[in-house]
Structure 1
C-alpha cells in the first residue's frame, strides 16, 4: 500500500487550513458588509394580492429604493403562478386570502414547480393556526394586515440581506473548492442587472421617473433572454395600449436626459473609449453627435431616441465583462 509522506500530509493540511482561514475572514467581512452596506442589494420583487390599494402601497415602498425592482404584480393566483415560472424573482409578497387559490396553495404549487423565491405572506387573519400553516408551507415571514410600512421595510431588508449573504457564501465555497450547498436563483442574471444599474447611474438618470420602467423591462429581457422586439407587453407585463404609451413616454424622457448628459461628457472627453462605446451601443453615435452639435449651438435639433436600440444595446452591455 502506498503511504503518503508526513511532509505531503502536512502540506495538504496547511493548504486546506489556509483556505478555511481565508473563507473565515471573508465570512466575517461579509457579515460587516451585510450590516452596514445593505444599500447595494439588487432585488427583484413580485406582488400577488387582490387588493389594488395594497399593491400600490407596497409598490411605492419597494420602488422607493433604487436597488429594488418590481418585475410583476398580479391580482389572482394563477396569473402569479404563470409569471413566476417565467421571471427571476428574489422576494415574493403574497396575500393569504386570494380567491380560488389561497396564498399557501400558491406557494406549495410554486415549490412543486421548483420556483423558490423568498416568500413574505400578508393576511388580515393572524391566528396561530394560519401562521403555522404558512410557515410550514415555507414562508420566510408573516405580516399582518393592515400593512405597517416601517415593519415591512425592515423585514424586506432582512430577507434581502440573507439573500445577499447566501450569494456570497456560495462564492466562498467555490473559492475553497467545495460544492456550494446554498441555493440562489440565477446569480448570473443578478450580475447583469447590477451592471445595467451601474450604467444608468453613469448616465445620470436614476432619479428620473422612467428609470424604474427601464429596469423592469430590461430585467425581463435578461431573465428570458429576449430582444426588445420580442417582448409581449400585454401578456407578460400586463400593459394595455394606454399604459404602454405612458410608460414609453416616461422612458423616452429619461433617455433624453441620459443622451444630453452623455453629450455633455463628450464635450470634455471627446476621445474617451467608454463614452464612445456607450454612444454607439445605447444611442447610436450619430444621435450623440447631433446632441453635441446642439449643445455647441451649431444646430437646433439634437439626437433622437430609439427604444429598441437602447434596450438591445443595454442588454448587450450587461453581458460584456468590464
Structure 2
C-alpha cells in the first residue's frame, strides 16, 4: 500500500509514518502540511490511500478531498480528527471517507484501521483484475507505464518537502527542457538561458522580467529545501532524506550552519548561500537516471 499523509502537525505526520513503516503496512510516498500543498502532489503520485487531517488552515480536510476527487483522484481517504462532531463526521463519510483515526494518535487504532483499509483495497483490486481478465482474454500483455519526467521530479521535490513551493513548477519545466535536449551532454547551459526558455514557454510578454522572477522563485524554493533538510538533520541526522539529499544537492557546510542555528534555537538571521546550478545539475542527472531505468 502507498500512503500520502496530509497534516499541519509534523509530529502527527512522523507518528503515522513510523506506525506504517514499523508495522510493515506499506510505504509513505509523500506528505504535506496543508491541503493546498497536497493537491498537486497527490494528483501526480496517485497514492492508494490519503491520510488527511480534518482541520487545517486554508483548505480543510473535506474541502481538500472534494478538490482531489473533482480532479480525478480515485484512491481512498482516511480522516484524522481530534474533533468529535456528529455533523462533521457524517459529512466526511458522505464525501467518501473510509475510516476515522482519532487524535491523539494511537498506534493500535492506526494499525487496525490501516489493515482494514488494505484488506478492502486488495478485495477491490482482485475484483477489478477478474473483470479485466474476463474482458481482455486473448489480448496483448499489459506493459507497465514509464514514469514521466514530471512524476520523477515531483517525487524528488516531495522528499525534500518543497513540492508546491513557489518555484517547484519552474524547476519541473527546467528539467523537462534539459531532458528534451539531452544531446547536449551532462553539462548545463547557462541558467539565464534556461530561465528565458521557461519564461517563453509560459507565454510571458516580458521575458527579461519573468526570467528574474523565475530565478528568485527557484532560489526561495531551494532555500526552503535547505531549511527542511537542516530541520530533519537537527532532529535526527540518520534520517534517510537527510543522508541522501543534503550532501548531494547542497553545499553541506551551508546545511550544517543552518542545523547549528536550529539546534541553538538562535533567532538571529543567517545568510545561506544558494548554489542553484549545483541543485539543477544533480536533479537533472538523477532524473535522467531514473527515467532511463523506469
- State the alpha-carbon separation in 1 of the partners of residues 284 and 25 from structure 2: 24
- C-alpha contact 1:87 1:224 (8 A) present in aligned 2: no
1:141 aligned residue: 99
Distance of aligned partners of 1:234 and 1:122 in 2 relative to their CA distance in 1, 3 Å threshold = closer
1:226 matches 2:226 = no
1:85 aligned residue: 43
1:57 matches 2:42 = no
1:241 matches 2:226 = yes
Normalised to the residue count of structure 2, the TM-score between the two structures is 0.52
- State the alpha-carbon separation in 2 of the partners of residues 81 and 87 from structure 1: 10
Distance of aligned partners of 1:173 and 1:147 in 2 relative to their CA distance in 1, 3 Å threshold = same
- State the alpha-carbon separation in 1 of the partners of residues 44 and 151 from structure 2: 11
1:68 aligned residue: 26
Deviation at 1:55, TM superposition (A): 1.1
Equivalent residue for 2:130, pick from 172, 176, 186 = 172
Pairing 1:194-205 to 2, within 5 Å after superposition: none
Pairing 1:1-322 to 2, within 5 Å after superposition: 43-66=1-24, 68-177=26-135, 188=144, 224-226=150-152, 231-232=156-157, 233=160, 235-236=162-163, 240-241=225-226, 243=229, 247=240, 250-251=243-244, 316=292, 319=294
SS in 2 for 1:240: helix
Indicate the larger mover: 51-60 or 161-170: 161-170
How many residue pairs are counted as aligned between the two chains?
A: 185
Question: Cα deviations across residues 41-79 of structure 1 (Å, max 9, x unaligned)?
Answer: xx2111111112211111111122456221221112100
- State the alpha-carbon separation in 2 of the partners of residues 151 and 56 from structure 1: 16
- State the alpha-carbon separation in 1 of the partners of residues 133 and 90 from structure 2: 38
- State the alpha-carbon separation in 2 of the partners of residues 311 and 73 from structure 1: 20
User: Unpaired segments of 5 or more residues in structure 2?
Assistant: 138-142, 166-223, 246-281
SS in 2 for 1:176: helix
SS in 1 for 2:152: coil
State the Cα RMSD in Å. Answer: 3.6
Distance of aligned partners of 1:227 and 1:55 in 2 relative to their CA distance in 1, 3 Å threshold = closer
SS in 1 for 2:97: coil
Normalised to the residue count of structure 1, the TM-score between the two structures is 0.48
- State the alpha-carbon separation in 1 of the partners of residues 116 and 149 from structure 2: 24
Larger CA Rg, structure 1 vs 2: 1
SS in 2 for 1:101: coil
- State the alpha-carbon separation in 2 of the partners of residues 249 and 235 from structure 1: 14
- State the alpha-carbon separation in 2 of the partners of residues 307 and 99 from structure 1: 31
- C-alpha contact 1:72 1:237 (8 A) present in aligned 2: no
- State the alpha-carbon separation in 1 of the partners of residues 153 and 36 from structure 2: 26
- C-alpha contact 1:51 1:75 (8 A) present in aligned 2: yes
Deviation at 1:93, TM superposition (A): 0.7
Deviation at 1:307, TM superposition (A): 10
Deviation at 1:225, TM superposition (A): 4.8
